[in-house]
Amino acid sequence: MNKMMNAAIAYEFGKPLVVESIPVPDVPSGMILVKLVACGVCHSDLHAVNGDWPIKPKLPLIPGHEGVGIVESVGEGVIGIKEGDRVGVPWLYKACGKCEYCLSGWETLCEQQLNTGYSVDGCYAQYIIADPNYVAHLPANLGFFEAASILCAGLTVYKGIKETEVKSGDWIVISGVGGLGHLAIQYAKAMGIRVIALDIHEEQLELAKSLKADIVINVAKEDPIKKIKTAISGAHGVLVTAVSPNSFSQGVDMLRRKGVMVLVGLPSGKFELSIFDTVLNRKTVRGSIVGTRMDLIESLDFAARGLVTVHYTKDKLENINNIFSAMKSNKITGRIIIAL
Ligand code: NAD
Ligand code: ZN
Ligand code: ZN
| Residue extents of the structural domains in the chain | 4-152+291-339, 154-287
Q: What's the 177 CA to ligand 1 centre distance in angstroms?
A: 7
Among 41, 43, 315, name the best residue to mutate to test ligand 1's pocket (greatest count of ligand atoms within 8 A of Cβ): 43
pLDDT value for 146: 98
The minimum-distance atom of ligand 1 relative to the CA of 44 is 34
Contact 104, 60 (CB under 8 A): no
User: With a 6 A CB cut-off, is 180 part of the ligand 1 pocket?
Assistant: yes
Q: What percent of the chain has pLDDT over 70?
A: 100
Which ligand is located closest to the Cα atom of residue 90?
2
Q: Ligand 1 mean position to 267 CA, how many Å?
A: 8
Percent of the chain with pLDDT over 90: 99
The number of the ligand 1 atom at minimal distance from the alpha carbon of 177 is 9
Q: Which fold has domain 154-287?
A: Rossmann fold (3.40.50)
The protein residue whose alpha carbon is closest to atom 20 in ligand 1 is: 199
Taking domain 4-152+291-339, whether its CATH number is 3.40.50.1240 is answered by no
Residues 91 and 302: their CA atoms lie apart, in Å, by 19
Residues of the chain with pLDDT under 70: none
Going by C-beta distance under 8 Å and a sequence separation of 6 or more, which residues neighbour residue 62?
7, 8, 9, 10, 117, 121, 122, 123, 124, 125
Please give the Cα distance from 254 to 173 (Å, whole number): 8
Task: State the pTM of this model.
Answer: 0.98
